[in-house]
Amino acid sequence: MGRLIVRFGIALFLVFIGGGLFFLLIIETTFNGGFAVSVKLLWLPLATIVFGFTYLNREMLQARSRRPWHAWAMAVALYPMMLLFAWPYVLAANALLPSKGRIEFRGPIVAKFMSGGRYTPCHVRIHDVRTGQDVELNVRCRANPTVGALYSACFERGQLDIPVRWRFAEIPDPCLPTTGRASAPPAA
């Protein structure tokens, strides 16, 4: 098995990166949502896999490289890349497991960020009135959000407590709770 992984390692790594980019494309979360959870959950298992595989297959890896330390240098370079691209897989697991209910972030926009280029993505920071915390969200620029305006966004709370939603799915409006309780009527 190790021989196959070594032989097709670059292709397997590219498939791993491609899967991570695919999940980042279809799953939306708060800005960097779940990244810290991903690192906390996976730093030790991924270190064990990468460095354990390198140790168990060191003779074969060193025979394929020009210098004996190249195998270990590649393991040191591969580990942070694996940790970075494992984050979308944690988001996918969080989104695919049963939801703990809906969560709505609602409040005034306290900051707006736009990056230039052909497609102009917007990123806003809102002060969530429910929790009192600032939450950073990606928004559609066509809506032209302005600082001080009220904004709300609906997400599902996954099993890992990471707020997620499917990027191309219909977003419920208004954000209705999934707990079965009736929501309060809107203020007139």
Do residues 81 and 113 both lie within one domain?
no
Do residues 69 and 86 both lie within one domain?
yes
pLDDT value at 61 more than 60: yes
* CA atoms of 40 and 21, how far apart (whole Å): 21
Do residues 42 and 57 both lie within one domain?
yes
Do residues 119 and 41 both lie within one domain?
no
Considering the domain boundaries, does residue 9 fall inside one?
yes
State the total domains in the chain: 2
* CA atoms of 96 and 54, how far apart (whole Å): 32
pLDDT digits (tens, 9 = 90+) for 123-135: 889 999 888 899 9
Considering the domain boundaries, does residue 186 fall inside one?
no
The pLDDT of residue 181 is 37
Considering the domain boundaries, does residue 16 fall inside one?
yes
pLDDT digits (tens, 9 = 90+) for 5-44: 888 888 999 999 999 999 999 998 988 888 999 999 999 9
The pLDDT of residue 162 is 93
Distances (CA, A) of 166 to 82, 170, 171: 24, 8, 9
Domain boundary among 96, 113, 142: 96
Do residues 45 and 121 both lie within one domain?
no
Predicted confidence band of residue 154 (pLDDT cuts 50, 70, 90): confident
The pLDDT of residue 86 is 95
Predicted confidence band of residue 120 (pLDDT cuts 50, 70, 90): low
Considering the domain boundaries, does residue 139 fall inside one?
yes
pLDDT value at 188 more than 50: no
Do residues 76 and 10 both lie within one domain?
yes
Do residues 118 and 138 both lie within one domain?
yes
Helix axes 9-26, 70-96, angle to 10 degrees: 30
Do residues 107 and 66 both lie within one domain?
no
Considering the domain boundaries, does residue 175 fall inside one?
no
* CA atoms of 96 and 39, how far apart (whole Å): 19
Do residues 29 and 10 both lie within one domain?
yes
- The boundaries of the domain holding residue 51 are 2-96
pLDDT digits (tens, 9 = 90+) for 37-56: 999 999 999 999 999 999 99
Do residues 131 and 72 both lie within one domain?
no
Torsions phi, psi for 43 (to 5 deg):
-60, -45
Do residues 16 and 68 both lie within one domain?
yes
